[in-house]
Amino acid sequence: MAPLNPTKIICVGKNYAKHAAEMGGEVPAEPLIFMKPPSALLDSGASIVMPSQSERVDYEGEIGIIIGRRATKVSQADAWSYVESILPLNDVTARDLQAKDNQWTRAKGFDSFCPVGTPVPVADVDLDALGVTTRVNGEVRQEGDASDMVFDIPTIIEYISNVMTLEPGDLIATGTPEGIGPLQAGDVVEVEVRGVGKVSNPVVSGTA
């Protein structure tokens, strides 16, 4: 696929109520956003590298959206018109470092920590049927419908675009459902977005 070239990757945390609960927290009163660097992007088939600094690296399957035109202070009603395409995304996370640090940049930002699949134009996607499934070695670990999101995609776009301008190509990760868990070297993790496609990656140790 053609390489993605976002100026930024903005992620939404605790956007499924059951995931917020499994993380030991309450559902946020407004979208909880953080960022991953574009250097974390990884194509399907390439290896997720578990860094030596972490003892627990988790998968987080998500619905990703790519912005198609410059977006500033967008309303919910107009939000979908700013979306170019949808793709499967894995918000790989060093869970122990996330718990250790006061912010999530290190835990979320390692090289290879944002695997993405092939974007599909939003016009070709049944938005009412959007959902995400994560499998590890073929076993289902996560399943969630977009309708289960605490903050739906138009709300997310409105919120983020009222904080920062979104540029064409920018990537938004919309949150992960319950069922997060650790990866081990030798695993293969697959994230599928219903009606869109899959991203599949082997896991290797950074100390190998």
Domains of the chain: 9-205 (3.90.850.10)
54 touches 97 (CB < 8 A): yes
pTM of the prediction? 0.94
Identify whether the C-beta of residue 117 lies closer than 8 Å to the C-beta of residue 134. Answer: no
The length of the chain is 208
- Mean pLDDT to the nearest integer, 30-55: 97
Rounded to an integer, what is the distance from CA 204 to the centroid of its chain?
20
Kindly give the pairing relationship between strand 32-36 and strand 131-136: unpaired
pLDDT in tens, 99-141: 999 899 999 999 999 999 999 999 999 999 999 999 999 999 9
Helix (H) or strand (E) holding 97: helix 95-100
Q: Is 35 a residue whose pLDDT tops 70?
A: yes
Please determine, for residue 170, whether its predicted confidence score (pLDDT) is greater than 70: yes
Q: Which among 35, 37, 17, 36 is positioned nearest to 26, based on CA atoms?
A: 17
| Residue 75 token pair | 């309303």
35-47 average pLDDT score: 98
